[in-house]
Amino acid sequence: MEPVSLLVGGVLLAAGFVAGRLGRRRNVGPALPQAVCGCGHALSQHDPEQGVCHSEVARDAYTKRGKWAGHTWVSCSCRQYVGPRPIDEVFAPRLLPPGD
């Protein structure tokens, strides 16, 4: 093969590689806000009737001598959801299940 055609092929390959690397970098818009409580858990983790959080939190565990022993999973101490309310609960009461 001619050295000129090899050089042209190498330049085209490098230009395609650079264009592919730069073309993929698109700015993504800001993340949508999530409805989370003060404890950091979503509305789906809270029971609306009892008001407790059903999620678990990792807490540090220590030995009697004060050395770190790992994590223990304990239930979240949140007692009521204090995050933003869904708009359908603000303007209309729940129809289902029927209350007797």
Within 13 Å of residue 1, how many CA atoms lie on the same side as its CB?
7
Question: What is the SS3 assignment for the chain?
Answer: CCHHHHHHHHHHHHHHHHHHHHHCCCCCCCCCCCCECCCCCEHHHECCCCCCECCEEEEEEECCCCCEEEEEEEECCCCCCCCCCCHHHHHCCCCCCCCC
Strand 68-75 and strand 56-62: the pairing is antiparallel
Report the pLDDT averaged over residues 61-86: 86
Domain boundaries in the chain? 36-92
What pLDDT, on a 0 to 100 scale, did the predictor assign at position 11? 93
Residues 56-64 have a mean pLDDT of 89
pTM of the model: 0.48
What's residue 34's pLDDT? Answer: 76
4-50 pLDDT per residue, tens: 888 999 999 999 888 887 777 667 778 777 778 888 888 888 887 88
State what percent of residues in the chain have pLDDT above 90: 12
Residue 52 · residue 79 · CB < 8 Å: yes
